Amino acid sequence: MTLEAFVLGTGGMMPLPGRGLTSVLLRREGSLFLFDCGEGTQVNLRRLNLKWKKISVIFISHTHADHITGLPGILMLSSQVERQEPLYIFGPPRVKEYVEATCRILEIYINYEIIVTEITSPGIIYSEDDFEVRAFSLYHSRPCMGYALEEKMRPGIFFPEKALALEVPQGPQWSQLQNGQSVENQKGKLIEPSEVMGPARKGRKFSFVTDTAYKPAIADEVQGSDLLICEAMFTQDMEEDAKDKKHLTSLQSAEIAKAAEVKSMGMIHYSPRYTRRDLYQIAEEAKSVFPDAFLTKDCQHIPIPYEE
């Protein structure tokens, strides 16, 4: 099962040439999940040539324009393909009003069902058989949510040699054992999956955090992420501004990543005041606290492999 992130935009406040607004597409095998959707999100979706017209779920952090004004275009273009499945949208209060008003005023033709859920309290908001998405509160100038997609534990490794030694020949019984069912061997003895399988293995975790003031509690929510995408809007010398505007600095993002013991942290939502070259300062500062921090780039592809 593949899991990979595509960075669609890395900027905050306004799009710049070569720097789209903050948005990340997560692809899990064939399913697509979009996190935030600023103006112009479509442009890099197109550039990446993904089959993006069938996005399953869109998670919106908050209703600031740089995170949401790309939505009408996505809704409109998603109608260009045959679609039976509904599109789910999650976000803080007023997201529903925004989607409804936009569709009504622009008279957008929509050929599928849109199900918008406003998140009023943190917790699990979406789940499928083998993963779930949890929303948690961030600390911004208006209601803002962070998200964590976490896969459930998956079965341990199957050892064919153990099955053979226990006289379970290759065949449908092997799949039954791998699916957690006990089977009878050739002598009629019951063989348990635990006799031929290793211990259950961890799934993967992807977290998305933007926009927010610094609070140590954020680390608890993103604990153990394989990939944390986290805003790092300002260099450390701008700490006071960051505090006033309720955003994170490089060092604060790194502190979160370090406390949460994430595997890697991609920084995002850069202030438009920084040129590409200035951003190296953000990277250097963050790496001084958390060496696995990196600057995300527009159109970057980030695979998220299993730990084992």
Q: Which residues bind Zn ion (CB under 5 A)?
A: 12, 64, 66, 211
Backbone angles phi, psi at 198, to 5 degrees: -80, 180
Q: Could you tell me the smallest distance in angstroms from the CB atom of residue 144 to Zn ion?
A: 7
DSSP state at residue 79 = G
Residue nearer to Zn ion on the CB measure, 67 or 134: 67
Distance from C-alpha of 227 to C-alpha of 266, rounded to nearest angstrom: 7
Residue nearest to Zn ion (CB): 64
Q: Name the active-site residue from 36, 66, 211, 298.
A: 66
The two three-digit tokens of residue 45, written as one number: 């979706």
Q: Could you tell me the smallest distance in angstroms from the CB atom of residue 67 to Zn ion?
A: 6
Q: Which residue has the tokens 């954020």?
A: 218
Q: What is the CA radius of gyration of the chain?
A: 22
Distance from C-alpha of 46 to C-alpha of 213, rounded to nearest angstrom: 32
Residue nearer to Zn ion on the CB measure, 66 or 298: 66
Residue nearer to Zn ion on the CB measure, 131 or 270: 270
Q: Could you tell me the smallest distance in angstroms from the CB atom of residue 141 to Zn ion?
A: 7
Q: Could you tell me the smallest distance in angstroms from the CB atom of residue 61 to Zn ion?
A: 8
The question of whether 66 is a catalytic residue gets the answer: yes
Distance from C-alpha of 182 to C-alpha of 178, rounded to nearest angstrom: 9
3-class secondary structure, 76: helix
The two three-digit tokens of residue 189, written as one number: 């003895």
Q: Are 6 and 50 in contact (CB under 8 A)?
A: yes
Can you spell out the DSSP letters for 185-239?
A: -TTS-EE-GGGTB---B---EEEEE-S----THHHHHTTT-SEEEEE--B-GGGH
Residue nearer to Zn ion on the CB measure, 177 or 209: 209
Residue nearer to Zn ion on the CB measure, 65 or 101: 65
| Residues belonging to the active site | 66
